[in-house]
Structure 1
Amino acid sequence: MGPQELTYLVQGLGWTLILTAIGFIGGIIFGMIVALMRVSSRAWLRYPAIAWIGLFQGTPLLMQLFVAYFGLPLMGFDVPAWAAVAFALNAHASAFLGEIWRGAIQSVPKGQTEAANALGLHARSRMFDVILPQAFKLSLPATVGFLVQLLKGTSLAAIVGFVELARAGVIVSNQIYKPLIVFGVVGVMYFAICWPLSLYGRYLERRMSAGVSK
């Protein structure tokens, strides 16, 4: 495998990182909306969030990619492959992050809410100034863990023809007929990104556990 093939794999890695960033940022935005709907006392907000989480947690990401790639054109949306993949990743990430943050919000001691009520804070200020900052810290380890899962999940985009790292590995392997070497390099690239993130997630988890024990 020469410099040309390695450069092609690096370009695929770049698209993997771009897809991960798009899915994660979109997941953060829509996941926060889902989480707030999920903990709402209003049933007309809570039940759609429950259905959204159940739908995207209860179906494979691969199926969601197929539906986005083939379903959006049938609905009249002419979207390129990367946009369909981004849509599916955003929806997938919003469901998982929404549930992670829902758990974090509900893990904040009720005394915090009672204290905010005693101070006369209205619901918006109570949520955004008191509850969410604490919930954010509690959710960090699980959020980082999901980021690793999402990064690896982008490899499924190869199924719909999008050329990210996994698909680039298939193309290079078919050209030089050395799959063991090619996918060994691909695996090292994934490992070089995912392992530091996993270590960081474990560090955050230990730090949170130490803080709780104190």
Structure 2
Amino acid sequence: MGPQEFAYLLQGLAWTLVLTAMGFVGGIAFGVIVALMRVSSVTWIRLIAIGWIGLFQGTPLLMQLFVAYFGLPLLGFNLPAWAAVGIALTAHASAFLGDIWRGAIQAVPRGQTEAAMALGLHTRSLMIDVIMPQAFKLSLPATVGFLVQLLKGTSLAAIVGFIELTRAGSIVSNQIYRPLLVFGVVGAMYFAMCWPLSLWGRNIERRMSAGVSR
């Protein structure tokens, strides 16, 4: 495998990072909404969030990619491949992150809410200034863990023909007929991205556990 093939893999790696960023940032934006809807006191709002979470957690990411890539054009949305994949990853991430943050919000001690209400804080101020900062800290290890899963999940975009790292590896492998070498390099690239994130998540969890035990 020469410099040209390695450069092609790096281009695929760049697209993997772009897709991960799109899905994660979009998932954060919509995940916050899903989490707040999930803990809402209004029944129909809560049911919509439960349905959204159940739909995307209960179906494979591969199927979601197929629906976004082939289904959206049938509805008149002629999107480039990267946009369709980004939409699917965003919807997928919003369901998982929304559920993670829902659990974190509900894990905040009820005494915090009661104390804030006793001080006369409105519901919006209670959520933004009291509940969400604590919930964010509680959810950080699980959020980082999901980021690792999302990064690896971008490899499924190869199924719809998008050239990210895995697809780039397949193309290079077909050109030089050395699949073990090529996918060894591809695997090393995924490892180099995922392992530091996993260590970071464990470190955060360990520090939080140490703080709780004191």
The alignment's TM-score, normalised by the length of structure 2, stands at 1.00
Q: What residue in structure 2 maps to residue 207 of structure 1? A: 207
1:103 alignment partner in structure 2: 103
Which residues in structure 2 correspond to 1:1-214 (within 5 Å)? Answer: 1-214=1-214
In 2: Cα distance, 1:77 partner to 1:67 partner: 12
Q: Which amino acid aligns with 2:49?
A: A
CA distance in 2, matches of 1:108, 1:212: 13
Q: How many residues align?
A: 214
CA distance in 2, matches of 1:212, 1:101: 19
Query: What value does the CA root-mean-square deviation take over the aligned residues?
Result: 0.4
Segments ≥4 residues shifted beyond 6 Å: none
**Deviation readout 1:104-141 (Å, 9 max, x if unpaired):** 00000000000000000000000000000000000000
2-structure distance, mates of 1:194, 1:82: 22
Q: Report % sequence identity.
A: 81
TM-score, normalised with respect to structure 1: 1.00
Tell me how far 1:44 sits from its aligned partner. Answer: 1.7
| Distance (Å, rounded) in 1 between the aligned partners of 2:78 and 2:193 | 33
- Tell me the alpha carbon deviations over residues 161-197 of structure 1, each in whole angstroms, 9 at most, x when there is no partner: 0000000000000000000000000000000010000
CA offsets 1:1-49 (integer angstroms, 9 cap, x no match) = 0000000000000000000000000000000000000000001210000
CA distance in 2, matches of 1:98, 1:118: 28
CA distance in 1, matches of 2:207, 2:44: 38
